[in-house]
Structure 1
Amino acid sequence: MAKTGTYSSARIKRHLEQYKIATMEDLKKVLGTDVRMTVFRKLRELPLRTSYSHRGKYYALEKTIKFDDLGLWSSQSVWFSTYGTLLETTKVFVMKSEKGYSVIELDDILHVSVKESLINLFKRKCLCRKRIAGVYVYFSISSDVQTKQVIRRREYLYDQDCKSGKVEDGLLQHELEAAIVLFSSLLNEKQKRLYSGLEAIKIGYGGDQIISKLLGIDCHTVAKGRKEIMDYDLEVERVRKKGGGRRPIKKKPGNRKDD
């Protein structure tokens, strides 16, 4: 067997220029070796990308890759991403999405199964997940971005139902819920707590849990806000100017009991 120094990365480069993509087994044959480390050493000499599909087993020269507007490129049904691995690509696509993604939606865009990646990212708290209209949808972990994504998701579902003639009374709630989420995002922590409690009161039984899921806040926070409103336990800031309001009554000397 030839020594490692006799192998040339130029042979790999010429092969990839001609065939666009190749696996480790392909490149072993190109170099005429059965040793993986020999191929790896030569690969490090070249500007390469690995596929996010097919478990990353395909290689391509960076100069031959022409990423589209989504940052994707394919050759012979093998997919590459400007973001690298499937896990990272999945994360970036959800974080940058307009209305989040369901598993099926992202499968169609990335042309591979993303369910395992999405669940992994959710468990690692890299993404958030909400059940909307009976389907799990994945959103950004940024509260501001997530709020906008949820609103647009609900608007999208409502529009789809309108177009298909499937709008029912229950579905009309999408617009109201979107408005509640949007308004809540404009409030500070105390205001949001009280507002969530008010909306829970309107709903009645089970309101704490419903509002908690809708706004993405702790159920105990909603309950606390509801209790503060019901008990009138509010610290209202002074709104009158100093000296305003009803004047105190002064007692006349003749009204004193000890006179």
Structure 2
Amino acid sequence: MVLIFAAFVNRVLGAAGEPQNLVKLEGFCINSATGDCFLVYEYVENGSLDLWLLDRDRARRLDWRARLHIALDLAHGLQYIHEHTWPRVVHKDIKSSNVLLDARMHAKIANFGLAKTGHNAVTTHIVGTQGYIAPEYLADGLVTTKMDVFAYGVVLLELVSGREAADETGEPLWADAEDRVFRGRDERLEARVAAWMDPALAGQTCPPGSVASVVSVARACLHKDPSKRPSMLDIAYTLSKADEHFADYSGESVSVDGSGEIAAR
């Protein structure tokens, strides 16, 4: 079997203007005997995020700071395809198994097999993964960047809780969060989050205000009205502020009120 390899895009990772948080396409292979073509991507050493969250030994090694940085990496990757490409790209299949972690635990978005260019398109062919599908896409087939924002909110809940996007009965994680975390007075948010978060984070350096801020971002991302969901630029900014909690964290509780929520862009 003769394989023809052509390396043709993104040769030097980190070049000016190059996206850091997307899995790099290295080239393609063609089987000259059958005509089959295979895409060749960069090797991402630490595998997918879902494997880290669901394996208890790995989850304990994935502290809150690492999870927050993964959330930021993913936000930057989505911001790039939503705001720095023309036409805009909607990934359509954001989920923890499509988030890959490199040797330094930086996150990269993978699997653009369902991606669509353009904005405000409508389709009758609904595809996706249970627990991540935005309600407007499921009901009306509406394809916008805000469906990626919804799925991103689910990934944030996975990072906080260490649980899958849908349980064995099919109940989505976001529905459980609505019942047990989102509802209630904002001044009690940290207490509700602490009772709901991944046990693997217990006993680690984990500023309550930082975690509550991420949950507030997730709540905004999961708004049923897509026009009221934030942009990825807003999300990245808010999460960078959550990261700053570490600089000031003294081990005491930090409150989060309604002003910690982010508005639609």
The alignment's TM-score, normalised by the length of structure 1, stands at 0.24
| Greater RCO (Cα-Cα under 8 Å, separation 6 or more) | 2
Higher helix fraction: Structure 1 or Structure 2?
1
Calculate the TM-score normalised by the size of structure 2: 0.24
Which structure has the bigger radius of gyration?
1
